[in-house]
Amino acid sequence: MVDLSVRIGDLTLQNPVTPASGAFSWEYNDVIDLNRLGGLVAKTICREPRLGNPTPRMAETEAGIIQSIGLPGKGIQYFLDHIVPEYAKFKPPLIVSASSEDIDEFALLASELDVPDVDVLEANISCPTRNTTGGNFAMHEEHTRKVVAALRAATKKPLWVKLSPNAGDIVSVALAAEEGGADCLVIANTFLSLKIRTDNFRPALGNKFGGLVSPALKPIVLRMVYQVAKQVKIPIIGIGGVTKAEDVVEYMLAGASAVGIGYAGFRNPTALVSIIDDLERWCDERGIEKVSDLIGAVRDDDMEMDTLAAASIGV
Ligand SMILES: Cc1cc2nc3c(=O)[nH]c(=O)nc-3n(C[C@H](O)[C@H](O)[C@H](O)COP(=O)(O)O)c2cc1C
């Protein structure tokens, strides 16, 4: 039987399937066995309590949903006292996503999350509806380098950094995050988008813009993972449009060590566990002994790389 475990730096995940931040909580344990997952990823938290964005916060499109939730939450103390203990009841490592609009406050939050039951800090520096100097640092390499370096200095936890698909040149931003001290790159957050209602001519979301999630975006994010994997040494988690085991395989072939899943879990709350089962079967049927052998195993050595260079040039 295939060994599904993967390593992300010093951390071993029992399999490469994790939930995506904001699309998951420990309450899913009512429907699936959370101990089956590669990791547990908490919703992004902010230091101070936040109400979130005006409603409506979600709208359907022909191919997926746009959403602008606005990171509602009860703040760091509530998170440490009430939410971390809920996740700590389960075996997989706890990955805590955190965000701030201010670098000093972000660093303080990182240090406050340096507690035993938190295994990884995932820095959400790519909230699509925020400013590039505050909360959406990943739009720009210099902002990225600065915030990642500040977080690196503030925590000893493994530091995963979630990048933006909206950056013109994600490869440069990825390199900046690596230079800043990231241990892993999470690619990617949602695509900035807009829906306008034709009945009242108003934007469909209370916050006007939102992030699009859709299986249709998978080829775009896959391309980003591939490009970044060619340039960085640290591991990558691919997130975007994973709905089946073959999508996990594709991301791994492109260079990801694991994947995150959001949308598919909304459509079917048992999707993550089914995908793990299917991945195991897929590997066994092909005699693949270690799923980690798939990482970066795309067979393209005989293909010219000019298109990669061209596509990597920033806009
Ligand atoms: C309702 C909703 C809330 C989200 N909240 C967060 C969040 O708090 N932090 C974050 O980093 N990403 C958040 N995301 C983005 C997801 O983590 C993920 O990057 C995105 O959904 C793409 O993956 P998918 O195609 O599997 O859904 C959210 C996505 C959705 C749909």
Nearest ligand 1 atom, CA 189: 19
Under a CB-based contact definition with an 8 Å cutoff, are residues 43 and 75 in contact? no
Contact 186, 178 (CB under 8 A): no
Residue 282: closest CA among 256, 250, 258, 238:
250
- Structure confidence at residue 150 (pLDDT): 98
- Rounded Cα gap, residues 29 and 8, in angstroms: 24
Domains of the chain by residue range? 6-312
**pLDDT at res. 311:** 66
Are 249 and 294 in contact, with CB atoms under 8 Å apart?
yes
CA of 17 to the centre of ligand 1 (A): 15
Please indicate whether residue 22, judged by its CB atom, sits closer than 6 Å to ligand 1: yes
- Is residue 43 within 6 Å of ligand 1 at its C-beta? yes
Pocket lining: 162 vs ligand 1, CB cutoff 6 Å = yes
pLDDT at 307: 64
**Dihedrals φ, ψ of 3, to 5°?**
-85, 110
What's the pLDDT score for residue 130?
85
Our answer to whether residue 127 is catalytic in this structure is yes
pLDDT of residue 133: 80
Identify the residue whose C-alpha is closest to ligand 1 atom 28. Answer: 22
Residue closest to 37 by CA, chosen among 281, 294, 274, 296 = 274
Which residues touch 24 (CB under 8 Å, ≥6 apart)? 40, 41, 42, 43, 262, 265
Q: Which whole-number Å values give the CA distances from 69 to 53, 56, 61, 91, in the listed order?
A: 6, 9, 16, 29
Q: Pick from 21, 55, 205, 220 the residue to mutate for probing ligand 1's pocket: most ligand atoms within 8 Å of its CB.
A: 21
CA 190 to centroid of ligand 1, rounded, Å: 7
Chunked mean pLDDT (size 10), the chain, 315 residues: 97 98 96 98 97 96 95 97 98 98 97 98 93 89 98 98 97 98 98 97 97 98 98 98 98 99 96 98 98 98 74 58
Which CATH architecture group holds 6-312?
Answer: Alpha-Beta Barrel (3.20)
133 vs 112: CA distance, rounded Å: 22
Catalytically annotated residue among 46, 127, 184, 283: 127
Per-residue model confidence (pLDDT) at position 135: 85
Nearest CA to ligand 1 atom 14: 22
232 Cα: distance to centroid of ligand 1 (angstroms): 24
Measured between alpha carbons, how far is 68 from 70 in angstroms, rounded to an integer?
A: 6
Interval between CA 302 and ligand 1 midpoint (Å): 36
Decide whether any atom of ligand 1 lies within 6 Å of the 69 Cβ: yes
Q: Which helix (H) or strand (E) holds 228?
A: helix 218-229
